[in-house]
Amino acid sequence: MRDLSLHLLDLAQNSITAGASLVTVRLTLEDSGMLTMQLEDNGKGMSPELLQRVTSPFATTRTTRKVGLGIPMMKENAEKAGGTFTLESEEGKGTVLTASMDTKNIDCLPMGDLSGTLLSLMLTNPLYPDFLIEGKSPQGEGTFDTREVRAALGSDIPFNEPSVAAWLKEALDEEMKSIFGGVLI
């Protein structure tokens, strides 16, 4: 993975596959430069047994092949950048994935195209689930909630309608730039 936003795009897919109706992305950048990326979902969760082996590249729920690299690569990229990786999960309740990294560490991946990633998530999951983005940095904080967007737009219009997609792109760009512009993206 070339940047952190690509990890986000990849890992959020696990929440969607787990049947979550709401995926929450929390991005917090501290004054110290520590960045915490958290993904919380209300999907089906993992059994203690799966939770234990899921950071292994040889664990996957897929049946066609025996490797699953998304989670182990995130763990490695967090830990080599002076951060930590934790996964909490309960069957029937959901999963919380937390990765932190020191953005001042030379091995820390860049953030990459954050708003493009969030947009991709919304466009490829145009009707379901909802996404809540909570961002915080030394220069500000804000949220982006697709439940609010659906309430205004009507839940029958998918996000991948071109005019909706164009609105989402600009709205996400504005929001992410106001929170992280100049400090992370």
Partner 1 sequence: MKSLADLEAIRARTLENINMRKDENAARVVIGMATCGIAAGARPVMLAFMEEIQKRNLQHVTVSQTGCIGMCRYEPMLDVILPGQEKVTYIHVKPEMVPRIVSEHIVNGHPVEEYTIGAAKD
When binding is defined by CB under 8 A, the residue of 19, 70, 82, 181 that contacts partner 1 is 70
Phi and psi dihedrals of 75, rounded to 5? -60, -45
Select 34 or 59, whichever has its Cβ closest to partner 1.
Answer: 59
- Which helix H or strand E contains 168, and what residues bound it? helix 162-180
The tokens for 60 are: 């996957």
Q: Does 57 bind partner 1 (CB under 8 A)?
A: no
In the β-sheet with 22-29, what is the strand arrangement from edge to edge?
A: 85-90, 94-102, 34-41, 22-29, 130-137, 140-145
CA distances from 20 to 16, 96, 131 (A): 5, 12, 10
When binding is defined by CB under 8 A, the residue of 149, 176, 179, 184 that contacts partner 1 is 149
The upper half-sphere exposure of residue 132, i.e. CA atoms within 13 Å in the direction of its Cβ, equals 14
When binding is defined by CB under 8 A, the residue of 76, 88, 102, 113 that contacts partner 1 is 113
* CB atoms closer than 10 angstroms to residue 1: 17
When binding is defined by CB under 8 A, the residue of 128, 138, 166, 177 that contacts partner 1 is 166
Burial class (CB in 10 A: 0-12, 13-18, 19+), 175: middle
Q: Does 63 bind partner 1 (CB under 8 A)?
A: no
Q: Does 141 bind partner 1 (CB under 8 A)?
A: no
Q: Does 76 bind partner 1 (CB under 8 A)?
A: no
Select 33 or 112, whichever has its Cβ closest to partner 1.
Answer: 112
Q: Does 88 bind partner 1 (CB under 8 A)?
A: no
Binding residues for partner 1, rule: CB under 8 A, are 1-2, 6, 9-10, 13, 62, 64-65, 68-70, 73, 113, 116-117, 119-120, 123-124, 148-149, 152-154, 156-158, 160-167, 170-171, 174
